[in-house]
Every structure is written in C-alpha cells, then in structure tokens.
Chains A and B, each alone.
Chain A
Amino acid sequence: MTSYVPPLRNLRFVLDEMAGLPDILTTEMYNHVDTETVHMVLEEVGRFMAEVVAPTNVDGDQIGSNWSEGGVVTTPDSFKAAYSKIVESGYAAIPFDPDFGGGGFPWVTALAIQELLTSSDMAFSLCNLLTQGAIDAIIHHGEEEQKNTYLPKMLTGEWTGTMNLSEPQAGSDVGAVATKAEPVGDGSYRITGQKIWITFGEHDMADNIIHLVLARTPGAAPGTRGISMFLVPKFLVNSDGSLGDRNDVSCVSIEHKLGIHGSPTCVLAYGDNEGALGWLVGDEFTGMRNMFTMMNNARLSVGLQGVSVAERAYQLSLGYAQERLQGTAVGGEKGVQSPIIEHADVRRLLMTQRSWIDAMRYLIYINGGLLDLANAGVDAAQRESARERASLLIPLSKSLCTDVANETTSLGVQVFGGMGYVEETGAAQHMRDARIGAIYEGTNGIQAADLVGRKLPMRGGQVVEDLLSEFEDIADELREDDRLVRFGDNLVEACGAARTAGRWLLDNGSDLNAALAGSSPYLRLLGTVVCGGYSAKAALVAQGNLEGSEGEFYGARFVSARYFGEQILPQVVGLEKAVTAGSDQLFALSAKQLAI
C-alpha cells in the first residue's frame, strides 16, 4: 500500500542509549560483536525488509494463504520469492549459536531484526518467529544428534519450525492435551492426535517443516506433568541429511481469520494412517517445563509485534495526514484548505501514536537487553537482578504493547476518516492484523494473572518497588529542568498509584477473585508507569543532545517523551481505583442477569 521506512535511527537510539547494548557487548559472551557492526547489519537488513518484504504485505492480506484438497497450503507467490531471499541472506541465523551457523549476536539485536521484518509484513514474519522458537527449543533441550541434523537448515530457514500445543479441548488449559505418543521400541514414537492453531503448520515456502509437538506417552500423569515434547518432521530425514518419506502428518484445514491472512493457521492431523514418527526432545514428562524456556522470548516477540504493526500503521497515517487537505486550520489563510496534520485533534491522533510507539519500544528493548544480561551478565548478582526484572517486564511487554497496538492502529484508521474504513487504503489491515496479539501466546488476561500471581509477589513485592524507586529518582532529575517539572510531578504521582494498587493486591491476594479482578487494570497501570519511567529516562538522554548535530532527532524524542508524561501517564491515577475495587461488582450479577 505504502512504503515502509525502517526506523533505523530510533533503533540505534533505543539499543545504544536505552537498552544497554554497549554494556551487553562488553560481556564475555558477546564481546566478539561491536555496536558499529550491529548497526551496519541493521542498515542492510532494514533496506532488505523495506524493499523485499514490505511489498508482500498487501498480497498477504488480499491473496492470503489458501488450502486445497490433499492438504496443500499455498502462500502468495510474493511470499515464496521473499522467503527464498531471506534464506539466501542468512539474517535469520544472526542471534543463534555459531556452532550451527549462527552469528552469536545478543537477543536484543535479534529483536531489532524482528521488528524490521514484522513491520514489513506481520503475517509473513510469523514463519520465522515460529522457526526461531523451535530452534530455541532444540538448542536447549535436544540431543546432539538432533541439533546436528536439524539446526543448520533451520538456522538458514531452509527448513521451518512450528510449535504444536493447542487441541480443540486444550487451549489456554494446555494440561488437557490428549495427543498420544506410543513408543515403537527403537527410540522413536508414533504420534496420533489433532493439533489446532498451528502457525505455518503447512506451507510451500520451505523444503521441510519441523513440528515440535506436545503429547502424552502411555501411563503419563494427567495435567501438565504428564506432557512430553516430540520432534516430528514433515519429511523424515535420512542419515545423509537428504529428505526421505513423507511423515504421517497432514493439514486438514486452515482458519479464516480477522487478520494476518498470509499466515496459514493450520489444523494438523497426526497419525491418520500408521502414526507420525516422532522423537523425544528432552526427557519424558518435561515437555511443559521445556516449553516454558521459550516462553519469555515468545511473549516478548508478541509484544514486539504490537510495536511493529503500530509503527507501520503510524507511518501510513502520518503520510496521509501530511497530504490530505480539509478545512482551514486555526491560523491558516481563509479559504485555503490545510493539510489535516495542522488540526489539533489530528495532531492528537498522531502524537498519541508517536509517543506510545516510542515508549513501547523502550519497554520491549530494555526487556530484551535484560534477558541478554540474565544469560551473559558479568557475575551471578548481575544475572539474577537482570533475570528478575526481565521476568517482571515480560507480561507488561506482551500485554501492554498488544493492547496499545489495538488502540493506536485504530487511531491510524481514524486519521483517514471514512477512507480508513475502506480496505484499499491499507489502514484497516494493520488494525485487523494487530488484533491477534492480545490473544495468542497466552491471552492478555493470562498475562495479567501471571503479573499479579507470580511477578508482583517476587521478593514480597520488592522487585516492583525497586523499579518504582528508580523512577522516582528519575522524576527528581526531571524536576530540575523547567520543561520537565510537570512530567516529574506526574511520574511521582503515578508511582504512588502503582505502589498503592500493588500493595492492595498483595494484601488481598488471599481473595483470589479480588486479585484477579484487579489484574488487568493493574497491568495497564503498571505498564503505563513503566513506559512513563522509561520515557522519562529517554527525555533525560535527549535533553543533553538537543543542541548537537542531531538536535532534530533528539528533539523529537524529547517532545514525544514529554507528551507521554503530560498526556498519557496521568491516566493511571483513575486505574488505581479500578484495581482496588475488588470483585464484588464483577460477580454481583448472576449469569442469567447478565443477559438482561
């Protein structure tokens, strides 16, 4: 629809000055990489994504992926062409182990590549994202032979990967998985059962697809404790690495969805004939635990999808607002139509998007940088403190960024007025594509329960408290600059609201319904405070660079952060009361009364 301009300067700012990339690159694990190399890579990747992948976005939506008799799934031709170029480029391997052909770069740099890919075409990007998850699982839990057989081709993208958790009766409740794995006796298993929601479970972009499947072995305990993970390739792999027989797995159908039409969401049938051959990944009964090792990365990536789609929608709406002439703006020449960007309310639509996108990017990349430090930190204390803060931020990154993306992509539509409701402008696609983010990879309600049930209680609430105290210190610095006093005051007040709400949840945690009733508003509250705190940090970084050669860029960050502090952050004060209101009114009506 329109072109995509990779926000490379913003990524450089976020990585180098917000997410601590330079520090991460001093660790033993990553000191073979330097920031200039990272940005050189991002520049080339950005150009590639804008020129090769971004033009596929409309095809993905309008042609979509299609299923035909025999379980064949056909992606748009432009997908196949772009995917083969991604394979040639080797970009997908950048964050992974050099032993299997990777570049050994930190995860936070992989996030930047992912953003560039996802903004270009979210539906298309899911194939790489799922492959990334499968690679991660095999690296952490696979046998050496599995790693050597599958990883090199998965790192290039020649083979793709999938994650198979859900079944018709087992969605958010993964413990209800019923797919069976019968041992054959030679170390392999025969898998039978049906899996649903399998992203890129079948497609025509790669030679082979490596499915990771959760299933139960005979006699396994009920619930999540009895689940094991199996590797089930679409085509069996011969000992010389060549492809052998087709395995007994087939695509029964694909879903017809609100958005991400290019991404085939498959129903996969395992073992319609003799049973699909599969091999254990990790020990028996560790499937669920092993799946959780990828959970942080996966949830962070979905949060990043929110930012990525929001960015593309923002660019589109900004372009329209600059060109569309309607009405005469205040102060404009009478009788001469002004670009709508000159109208105050359109400005608000744009600034709200701009400011949220900046703030969400800080949250996501700081979270990613902390995950790197949790692995690579110089000592145990640094690793542990990074790990616990990263864990706290994960549900915020996932939920807040996907919730807000729903709002900002909708604002993007609003900028277009009636034309935004017309598909041809492309604004609606971003809104439809963004909608899934709040649903998959653990619904945002589940993220809120994770925040209140697991993350807030870490060290008796002290992990949250440490972060709030840091923000209050930053607020003191804001107040030293006349332009930032209001932001500083708002930040102190917002931290107070977060503290009161968190304390109430901890004190009332024994009333589970009350805590869960307040969980979603609390997530919104804390997430907004964290975005406010990081925006404050960005304002302080920008403040020192307003007069330099890049004054225009830093000036934009400075104002965007101030807008957050003055226009968005105050919203949390109202949320405090929703968090602490308890569950009485949620359950006061009977199921029948709800229909009245």
Chain B
Amino acid sequence: MCRRAHVLGLDQVVKLSSTMHAMKVVVCVKQIPDPADPGALDPETRTLKRDVKLILDESDSYGVEMALQLVEAAGEGEVTLVSMAPNNERSGLATALAMGAASATLVSDPALVGTDALTTAKILAATIKDQGADLVIAGSESSDGYTGTVPEQIAAVLDLPSVTAAKSVEVDGSNILVKRQTDAGYDSIICPMPAVISVTAGVVEPRYPSFKGIMAAKSKPVEEKLAADLGFEEDQVGWSGSGQEIVEVAEAPTREAGDIIEDDGEAHVKIVEFLESLKVI
C-alpha cells in the first residue's frame, strides 16, 4: 500500500518553518526522436522507429528544471537522472546534464525493444531504489508514446506516495507542498518525502544549457546498465515481457474546415453562442 498524500483545504495550508536539508532528486527522463523530424512507424511493431538521433523529451525538461530549482532552494544536494533506451544514445541525457544534473544512469539494452509501460516502470524503479532519493520527478507523459502511466507505476513499485500533475512544488521540512493542477483550479497537497511526483508541461521555464554547463556535462558520469544487471530475465522485458499489444494504428482524422463568421455587426453574438455551445463560457 502507498502511504497517502493528503489533500488540504486552502485554509489548511500553513507555511511551516522550513528546515533546509540536502535534497537528492532523481528525475526520470526519456530520449525521443525529434518531434520536428519524427521519422516513421515501424509497420511490423507499430511503434516509432528509434534508430534516429534522439533528443531530451521536452516534457521531461520541466522535471529537470523543477528538480534543479528544488536543490538550489535547499542550498545543497544533487539531481541525478535515470533513463531507459534500447540503444546507447546519450544526446538527450547530455542536454539534461548540461542543464545541471550531476550524473545519469542509462539502462541501455537491445533486449528492451518493445518493453511496455509497466515493465519500464519496474526497470526505472530498480535503478532508483538504492539511490536514497528524497524525491522522484517525472513528466506526466512522454511526447512520443503518451501512455502517461509510468510515474504512478514507479510509485506503486517503490511503495511511495504519488502526486500527479504538479504545477508547483515546495519543500517544507520532511514534506512537500504541491499544487496539483485540476480542471477547476488546483488542489493543495501535503505529502511526506520520499515521494514520486509528475509535472505537467509549462510549470517552470526550463533553462537552456550554458556553454559552461555543456562543457561540464562532458565529464559527468553516465552509468550504463543492462536489464540483467538489475535482476531482470530476458523474458521479463521487451516484447516477450510485455503485457500489452498494439493491435492497430490509425491515421488521425483530418481537420475539418471551420465556420467563418462574417462581421455584420452581430458577430459577437454568434461568437458568444458558439462558445456557449462548447460550454467554455
């Protein structure tokens, strides 16, 4: 069972005197084909071809930035990265290291081709569990696969509380205070550390790697591991270990032509009617 995070009423959010301590934050990052040049789907596996150059998933850059800010606010500590890839491509990790992360663990193994979300979570959890992390941060969902379940699955595997859709995170003693984005506004959540949180895009402004950061990243350690190093048998990972199957891939429907409202002096009424029909006002 997960320890529970508590949803507080707004009036219950009290600023406790924060005692600073060194923060160790692990960030899960994924390297994906460049969305500007995404390549093609493999017709056999119905998954994205990954034999191209990979870059840091933009949605993970928010997690890296938030982690760096938390460590900076704490005054000491470090950010480390965990990632998984079927090949040993590192350029996405290099970007995150250049932003300021201290080191990375890359589970790189051809046997991992076809691994599903749950097994991914198990593998990442296995790399995280001995790191002594105060906090594990992941993007809400990757920009290539969009399963959007890995952060919660990692929390479940590690038996840690899970807070999703964090728009801000503040450390308060041994707890974190999280504002969690909802349709109506946000929940204020207090959660004991260690915990796993997922962040949505746009919550912080990811820094660009500086020249010094890029140069420093060259000598930062990237430890490569095989699935077997983490205790996984070959049939537990990849296609054979996958509990899911992609049965069909279909083209997204083409965009339909929009309605053009000519302004005959009454256009605003029609626009209001249209917005009301969408229930946005």
Query: Are B215 and A37 in touch, CB under 8 angstroms?
Result: yes
Q: Which of B198-253 contact A (CB under 8 A)?
A: 207-212, 214-215, 218
Residue count of chain B within 8 Å CB distance of chain A = 14
Stretch at the interface among B67-75, B91-99, B101-109, B111-119: B91-99
Query: Are A40 and B214 in touch, CB under 8 angstroms?
Result: yes
For A74-90 the 0/1 string (1 means CB < 8 A from B) is 00000000000100111
Query: Which of B95, B211, B212, B215 neighbours the largest number of chain A CB atoms within 10 Å of its CB?
Result: B211
Residues of A close to B91: CB separation below 8 A: 40, 43
Residues of B close to A94: CB separation below 8 A: 211
- With A5-B36, A44-B95, A44-B98 known as contacts, the answer to whether A37 contacts B211 (CB < 8 A) is no
Residues of A close to B207: CB separation below 8 A: 88
Choose among A37, A47, A88, A89 the residue that contacts B218 (Cβ–Cβ < 8 A). Answer: A37
Bin chain A's interface residue count: 10 to 19
Query: Are A41 and B208 in touch, CB under 8 angstroms?
Result: no
**A103 interface residue, CB < 8 Å from B?**
yes
Query: Are B208 and A47 in touch, CB under 8 angstroms?
Result: yes
Query: Are A89 and B215 in touch, CB under 8 angstroms?
Result: no
Q: How far is the CA of A48 from the CA of B209 in the complex (A)?
A: 9
- Nearest A residue to B56, CB-CB: A47
Query: Are B94 and A40 in touch, CB under 8 angstroms?
Result: yes
Residues of B close to A458: CB separation below 8 A: none
Q: How far is the CA of A91 from the CA of B214 in the complex (A)?
A: 10
Query: Are A103 and B218 in touch, CB under 8 angstroms?
Result: no
**A463 interface residue, CB < 8 Å from B?**
no
| Distance of B26 from chain A, by nearest CB (Å) | 23
Q: How far is the CA of A103 from the CA of B207 in the complex (A)?
A: 20
Query: Which of B95, B208, B218 neighbours the largest number of chain A CB atoms within 10 Å of its CB?
Result: B208
Residues of B close to A44: CB separation below 8 A: 95, 98, 208-209, 214
- Nearest B residue to A89, CB-CB: B210
Choose among B36, B209, B211 the residue that contacts A103 (Cβ–Cβ < 8 A). Answer: B211
Query: Are A48 and B211 in touch, CB under 8 angstroms?
Result: no
Q: Which of A15-45 contact B (CB under 8 A)?
A: 37, 40-41, 43-44
**A135 interface residue, CB < 8 Å from B?**
no
**A295 interface residue, CB < 8 Å from B?**
no
Q: How far is the CA of A57 from the CA of B128 in the complex (A)?
A: 44
**A52 interface residue, CB < 8 Å from B?**
yes
Q: How far is the CA of A94 from the CA of B214 in the complex (A)?
A: 11
Residues of A close to B209: CB separation below 8 A: 44, 89
- Nearest B residue to A3, CB-CB: B36
Q: How far is the CA of A43 from the CA of B94 in the complex (A)?
A: 11
- With A40-B91, A44-B95 known as contacts, the answer to whether A90 contacts B212 (CB < 8 A) is yes
Q: How far is the CA of A148 from the CA of B208 in the complex (A)?
A: 28
Residues of A close to B36: CB separation below 8 A: 5
Q: How far is the CA of A48 from the CA of B61 in the complex (A)?
A: 14
Query: Are B208 and A90 in touch, CB under 8 angstroms?
Result: no
Query: Are A90 and B211 in touch, CB under 8 angstroms?
Result: yes
| Distance of A212 from chain B, by nearest CB (Å) | 25
Q: Besides the contacts A43-B91, A85-B208, A91-B210, what 19 more A-B pairs have beta carbons closer than 8 Å? A: A37-B214, A37-B215, A40-B91, A41-B211, A44-B95, A44-B209, A48-B208, A51-B208, A52-B208, A88-B207, A88-B208, A89-B209, A89-B210, A89-B211, A90-B210, A90-B211, A90-B212, A91-B211, A94-B211
Q: Report A's interface with B, CB cutoff 8 A.
A: 5, 37, 40-41, 43-44, 47-48, 51-52, 85, 88-91, 93-94, 103
Top 9 nearest A-B pairs by Cβ distance? Answer: A90-B211, A48-B208, A90-B210, A44-B209, A89-B210, A41-B214, A91-B211, A90-B212, A44-B214
